């Protein structure tokens, strides 16, 4: 019997979200994309089930991984959702806060403020040097402005950009037509892009936006 076989089989089992979140909270940057991928994949599966017109109640009760993500991150034990749209809105906002929080941490580390950076190997340093944390924060600032003007557009951007949902999945989650999502998504992309251009280079300090209202 070969242990390597067992180890390989075990490595196919995704790590628990709580373990990954704990690692992330301790400064393991590598945990973040994996957490996001696992949770987003799960949410996208749920959206596809919405597309197949499965009952909302059945879908929301069967996703342990997503539930674990919310409970660990937000400390919420009971969350009740009115409908699918409410749920996906909550999920999108949670993932958005999670990623933005991470980007801010990274930026603080880059500027030598806040937590002590974890020891990184050369390949990680190379990745860190190319990460556009400021860009993500700038997009988030522009999205906050868009939210005030057109909440539905901002919702579409949150699902598409922060959860990685397709046009069809977003349409299913928001209970609107794919054609509407496509049209609104294109408009939102142009508007956000123009807003970023108008504001110029974003400020490295997220508390001090370079471009006010």
CB of 36 to another protein, least distance (A): 3
Q: Which is nearer to another protein, 21 or 56 (CB)?
A: 21
Q: Which H helix or E strand runs over 190?
A: helix 178-199
CA separation, residue 213 to residues 145, 148, 151, 195 (Å): 8, 11, 17, 11
Closest CA to 133 of 175, 165, 105: 105
The 3-state secondary structure of 24-82 reads: HHCCCCCHHHHHHHHHHHHHHHHHHHHHCCCCHHHHHCCCHHHHHHHHHHHCCCCCCCC
CB of 77 to another protein, least distance (A): 26
Q: Which is nearer to another protein, 11 or 78 (CB)?
A: 11
The answer to whether the beta carbons of residues 145 and 213 sit under 8 Å apart is yes
CB of 114 to another protein, least distance (A): 17
- For residues 53 and 75, give the distance between their C-alpha atoms in angstroms, rounded to a whole number: 31
Q: Which is nearer to another protein, 56 or 192 (CB)?
A: 192
Residues that bind another protein (CB under 8 A): 1-4, 7, 10-15, 29-30, 32-34, 36-37, 40, 95-96, 99, 102, 127, 131-132, 135-136, 139, 149-150, 157, 160-164, 183-184, 186-187, 189-194, 197
- For residues 111 and 113, give the distance between their C-alpha atoms in angstroms, rounded to a whole number: 6
Q: Which is nearer to another protein, 31 or 59 (CB)?
A: 31
Exposure string of 121-134, with b = 16+ CB inside 10 Å and e = fewer, is eeeeeeeeeeeebb
CB of 71 to another protein, least distance (A): 20
Q: Which is nearer to another protein, 150 or 205 (CB)?
A: 150
CB of 173 to another protein, least distance (A): 15
Q: Which is nearer to another protein, 49 or 160 (CB)?
A: 160
CB of 6 to another protein, least distance (A): 10
């Amino acid at each position: 019997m070969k242990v390597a076989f067992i180890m390989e089989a075990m490595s196919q089992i995704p790590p628990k979200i709580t373990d990954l979140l704990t690692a992330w909270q301790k400064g393991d940057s590598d945990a973040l994309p994996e957490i996001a991928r696992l949770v987003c994949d799960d949410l996208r599966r749920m959206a596809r089930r919405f597309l197949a017109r499965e009952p909302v109640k059945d879908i929301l009760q069967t996703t342990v991984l997503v539930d674990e993500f919310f409970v660990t991150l937000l400390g919420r034990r009971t969350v009740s959702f009115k409908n699918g749209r409410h749920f996906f809105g909550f999920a999108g906002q949670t993932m958005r806060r999670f990623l933005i929080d991470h980007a801010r941490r990274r930026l603080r580390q880059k500027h030598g403020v806040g937590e002590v950076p974890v020891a990184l190997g050369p390949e990680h340093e190379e990745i860190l040097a190319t990460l556009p944390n400021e860009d993500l924060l700038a997009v988030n600032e522009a999205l906050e402005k868009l939210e005030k003007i057109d909440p539905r557009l901002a919702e579409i951007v949150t699902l598409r950009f922060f959860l990685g949902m397709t046009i069809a999945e977003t349409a299913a989650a928001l209970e609107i037509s794919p054609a509407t999502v496509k049209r609104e998504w294109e408009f939102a992309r142009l508007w956000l892009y123009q807003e970023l251009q108008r504001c110029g280079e974003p400020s490295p300090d997220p508390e001090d936006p370079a471009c006010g209202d």
